[in-house]
Structure 1
Amino acid sequence: MGEEKGGGAAPSVSGAMLGTRGSGEREREMLIQGGADDLEDPAKAFYAVLQSWVSKKFMSGCVVLFPVAITFYITWWFIQFVDGFFRPIYERLGINIFGLGFITSLFFIFLMGVFVSSWMGASVLWVGEWFIKKMPLVRHIYSASKQISAAISPDQNTRAFKEVAIIRHPRIGEYAFGFITSSLVLQSDTGDEELCSVYVPTNHLYIGDIFLVNSKDIIRPNLSVREGIEIVVSGGMTMPQVISPLERTLAPADRTRINRG
C-alpha cells in the first residue's frame, strides 16, 4: 500500500516539474521573441526612411527631367517633320545628310518673310487670302490661325495684342489678365470717354471675352506681349512673383485715330 502511495506521488511531482519547466520555457520564448521584435523595429524604421528618401529623390528627378525630355522630344519631332519637306528632293539628288532639309526649310521661311514684306508679296498674299476666305470650312481655320500668328507678330502695325493689361473683373478685389487690342472713343450725352478694347482669354488663347474698359482703369504691367502669352498658355505658372505697373500713354497712331474720330 505504501509503495502504491509512493508510486502515485511520483508522477505528481514529475508532472509539477514538467509544468514548471514548460512555463519557464514559454517565458523564455516570449523574452526571445520580444527581443527579436525590438531588433526588427529599428530595421523597419530604417527601411521606411530609406524608402521615403529614395521615393522623394526619384520624384525630384522626374520633375527635373520631364520638361527636358518633353522639350527634346518635341524639338526632335519638329526637326524631323520640317526636314521631311525637302528630304525627298535631296534623296533624289543622292544627298543624304540629316538636318539639311530642316536648314533648307528655315531658309525658305526666311525668304518667304522677305517676299511677303515687299509690295508684290503682299499682293500675292492678299489674292491667296481672298480665295481662302471663299472656302466654307477652310476660312474659319485660317482666320483663327491668322489671329494667333498676328498676336505674336514682330510688326507693331499688324500685331493683334498691343499691350498686356490687368483689369478689375469680375468683382472688386479680383483682377483679370488680358491684352489691349485697340482703343476707341465712346460718345455719350455726358461727354466722350476714352476706352480700350481688352481681350481676356477664358480657356485657350484664341477663345475669350472682350471688355471695353476706361483707359485710366487699366493696369499696364511691365510685361511684354510674348511674356503675357506664355503666362496664358502655361495657365499662370510662368507668372512672375512681383509685377510693377508701367505708366504708358497711347501710341501716336492711336492718338491720331482717336482725334480723327
Structure 2
Amino acid sequence: MTSVLLWLRRRFIAGFFVMVPLVVSVAALVWIFQFLDGLVAPLYERWTGQQIPGLGLITTVAFVLLVGVVGMNVFGRQLLQRLDKYLLRLPVFRTVYAPVKQLLAAFNPDNEYGFKRMALVEDPRRGFILGFLTREFMVDRGRGLEQLVAVYVPTNHLYLGDVFIYPRERVSFPQLSVEEGIRIFLTGGMALPERLTSSSAISEPRAFRDTRRTKK
C-alpha cells in the first residue's frame, strides 16, 4: 500500500510540474487573445457589419508573429530597445517589467545573454552539479590566461539560485537542451534520462584562441 501511495505521489508531482508551465503559457495566450479581441472586434464588426468568429484568434497569431519579425531585424531591435528604455523609466511599471523580462531572456537559448546550454560540473566537495552555462571568460592572475566558465545552479525555484565559477577543464556539457534542463529542475530530477552523454567539447573564447596562436 505504501509503495502504491509513493508511486501515485511521485506521478502526481511530476504531472503537476509539467502542467504548471503549460497552464501559465495557455493563460498568457488567452489573456493576449481576449485583450486584442476586445480591441479589434468592434472595428471588424463596424467594417463588415457582422461578427465573424475566429478573427480575434487570427489577429492574435498575426500580432505575435509581427512582434517576432520586428524583433529579429536590426531596425526593429533598435525600436524595441528604445521602447524598453521608456518603459523602464516608469517607476511602478519597471518593478514588474524588468524582472520578468530578464527572467524570460535568461531562459531563452536564442538570446545573446541567455543560458547557453546545460553544464555538468564534478565538484570534489559537492559531487556532480547540474546547471546552466551562462558565460565563458578569461582571468589573468599573473600566471597567464585561465579559461573559466560561469554556471548558474537553481535552488528551490528556477529564478533563485547561485552562480559558481569553475575552471573550464572541470566542466562537461551533457546532450541536454535548455528546455530539457528546465524540465529536469521543475520535476526535481525525475525528468533526467536513464542514460546521459556528456562532452567537454565547446568553442574557446576568441581571446583564448588568439593567445594560443600568438604563442605558436
The TM tier, using the shorter chain, reads 0.7 to 0.9
Alignment of 1:100-179 (within 5 A): 100-153=55-108, 155=110, 158-169=112-123, 171-172=125-126, 174-179=127-132
Q: 2:51 is matched with which residue: 72, 92, 95?
A: 95
* Structure with more contact order per residue of length (Cα contacts < 8 Å, sep ≥ 6): 2
Shift of 1:140: 4.2
Runs of 4+ in structure 1 off by over 6 angstroms are none
Give the conservation status (yes or no) of the 8 Å contact 1:221–1:245.
yes
Q: 1:83 is matched with which residue: 33, 36, 44?
A: 33
Shift of 1:129: 1.4
- Against the structure 1 CA distance between its residues 151 and 125, is the aligned structure 2 distance closer, same or farther, given a 3 Å change threshold? same
Give the conservation status (yes or no) of the 8 Å contact 1:85–1:101.
no
Give the conservation status (yes or no) of the 8 Å contact 2:145–2:208.
no
Aligned-partner residue type, residue 81 of structure 1: W
How many pairs align? 194
Give the conservation status (yes or no) of the 8 Å contact 1:201–1:209.
yes
When the two structures are superposed, what TM-score results if normalisation uses the length of structure 1? Answer: 0.62
Aligned-partner residue type, residue 80 of structure 2: L
Distance in 2 (alpha carbons) for counterparts of 1:176 and 1:187:
26
Aligned-partner residue type, residue 190 of structure 1: R
SS at match of 1:220: strand
Aligned-partner residue type, residue 95 of structure 1: Q
When the two structures are superposed, what TM-score results if normalisation uses the length of structure 2? Answer: 0.74
Q: Deviations over 1:60-92 (max 9, x none)?
A: 9x95xx76xx58x93765554333123233256
Shift of 1:225: 1.4
| Pairing 1:188–2:141 present | yes
- Against the structure 1 CA distance between its residues 85 and 211, is the aligned structure 2 distance closer, same or farther, given a 3 Å change threshold? same
Percent of matched pairs sharing the same residue: 29
Unaligned stretches of 5+ residues in structure 2 = 212-216
Give the conservation status (yes or no) of the 8 Å contact 1:195–1:212.
yes
Q: Which has the higher helix share?
A: 1
Shift of 1:200: 0.9
Distance in 2 (alpha carbons) for counterparts of 1:80 and 1:169:
44
Aligned-partner residue type, residue 164 of structure 2: F
- Against the structure 1 CA distance between its residues 103 and 119, is the aligned structure 2 distance closer, same or farther, given a 3 Å change threshold? same
Give the conservation status (yes or no) of the 8 Å contact 1:167–1:217.
yes
Q: CA RMSD in A?
A: 3.2
- The equivalent of 1:256 in structure 2 is 206
Q: Deviations over 1:116-173 (max 9, x none)?
A: 2223212221211112333344334333222222234353x6251112011234725x
Distance in 1 (alpha carbons) for counterparts of 2:113 and 2:26:
30
- Against the structure 1 CA distance between its residues 169 and 132, is the aligned structure 2 distance closer, same or farther, given a 3 Å change threshold? farther
| Pairing 1:209–2:162 present | yes
Shift of 1:206: 1.7
Distance in 2 (alpha carbons) for counterparts of 1:128 and 1:238:
39
Give the conservation status (yes or no) of the 8 Å contact 2:173–2:198.
yes
Q: Which has the higher strand share?
A: 2
